[in-house]
Amino acid sequence: MKLHGERIYLAALEREDCKTLYREQEYDFDNPMTDIGFGYSVESSDNWYEDIQKRLEAGTHVRLGVFTKSGEVVGDVALQDIDWQTRSCSLGMNIPKETNRNKGYGREAVGLILKYGFDIMGLERIWARTYETNHLGQKSLEAAGFVREGVARKAVYQLGRRIDEYYYAMLVEEWRER
């Protein structure tokens, strides 16, 4: 299965894609997105691949690779912790290499996975969270139509200080209005 966009497509991540994404992970100290993940070896990407497969089989996650039209893997996007009773889940996305960020890949990937989640899977609420320091993530979520619902004040300790965590969501009605 592939979900096609203008400049990218989403498809299943293979073991080698996971290794590439691990190998290319770069931390942007000017736009911190997550905790610093120093110490993870490329070999541990095998564990991530196995975890993706288990969660897919359990029906709790859909994680797809973000590929350029030439077939280069540049990131991943996921519908995570799917709750079929409430028809909701969280959104996760990562573009690990700095030179691939801020090119619209993330925005396009989010649009494709939202279409899949709302129109194909029948989800009714998709939410995301990001750190106050992740300006690119906030920009991407807001461009996709997410609404900031709240702030967990000083909820995260990052780079020697406490920072806020922002919560965003999109409802199926908002998706259909777009």
pLDDT in tens, 134-158: 888 898 899 999 999 999 999 998 8
Looking at residue 69, its pLDDT comes to: 96
Q: Give per-residue pLDDT as tens, 9-24.
A: 999 999 999 999 988 8
88-100 burial, b if ≥16 CB within 10 A, otherwise e? Answer: bbbbbbbbbeeeb
pLDDT, tens digit, for every residue of 22-58? 888 877 666 666 665 555 677 788 998 999 999 999 9
- Cα separation, 132 vs 38, in Å, equals 21
47 three-state secondary structure: helix
- Does residue 108 register a pLDDT over 70? yes
What ranges do the domains of the chain cover? 2-177
What residues pair up with 130 in beta bridges, in sequence order? 166
Tell me what pLDDT residue 43 has: 79
Per-residue pLDDT reduced to its tens digit, 157-168? 888 889 999 999
Q: Specify the CATH superfamily of domain 2-177.
A: Gcn5-related N-acetyltransferase (GNAT) (3.40.630.30)
High-pLDDT (> 90) share of the chain, %: 71
Q: For 44-73, what is the mean pLDDT?
A: 94
Measured N-to-C along each axis, helices 105-115 and 135-144 cross at an angle, to the nearest 10 degrees, of: 40
Q: What is the pTM of this model?
A: 0.90
Residues 108 and 8 sit within 8 Å (Cβ to Cβ): yes
Q: What is the DSSP letter of 99?
A: G
Decide if 48 contacts 22 (C-beta within 8 A): yes
Q: Mean pLDDT across the stretch 100-122?
A: 94
Strand 125-131's sheet: what is its strand order? 2-4, 8-12, 62-68, 73-83, 88-94, 125-131, 161-171, 147-158
Tell the burial category of 67 from Cβ atoms under 10 Å away from its Cβ (0-12, 13-18, 19+): buried
Is the pLDDT at 107 greater than 80, yes or no? yes
